[in-house]
Amino acid sequence: MKLGTLLSAVALAAMSMGLALPAQAADPIKIGVYLPLTGQNAFGGQLELEGIQLAHKLKPTVLDRPVDLVVVDNKSDKVEAANAVKRLTEHDKVLAIIGTYGSSLAMAGGEVAERAK
């Protein structure tokens, strides 16, 4: 599955589950991205970010609404991964999250995302 299609599917799934607030057509859809951009996994995180940014460049809108990516560094650390997801859900109010590729980091962030629904 192409990453652009994945971004569209994530946004559509979030909206179809009732997570989207009533919005005007021009309001952006905020998608959070938490990756290891520093620390021991930074190389892989940077590659993943470049792929996400390329997909965003190819498919910058969903349902005729612009997509805004909110990128947060999880610093290759489980505590920071959980903090990154908390920031994305509570402060940045994203509708969906593209998680990290590292399993322990994804699990730490996933627990926070699950609580935030």
Could you read off the pLDDT of 7-16 as tens digits, one per residue? 555 555 555 5
pLDDT surpassing 90 at residue 25: no
Take residue 30 and report the two structure tokens written for it. Answer: 């905020």
Take residue 29 and report the two structure tokens written for it. Answer: 């859809």
What is the residue-wise DSSP string for 42-56? HHHHHHHHHHHHHHH
Q: Quick one: pLDDT at residue 53?
A: 98
pLDDT surpassing 80 at residue 22: no
Percent of the chain with pLDDT over 90: 73
Q: Which domains does the chain have, with CATH numbers?
A: 30-116 (3.40.50.2300)
* H/E stretch holding 65: strand 65-73
Its pTM stands at 0.77
Single-letter amino acid code for the residue at 81? A
Whose tokens are 């859900």? That residue is 89
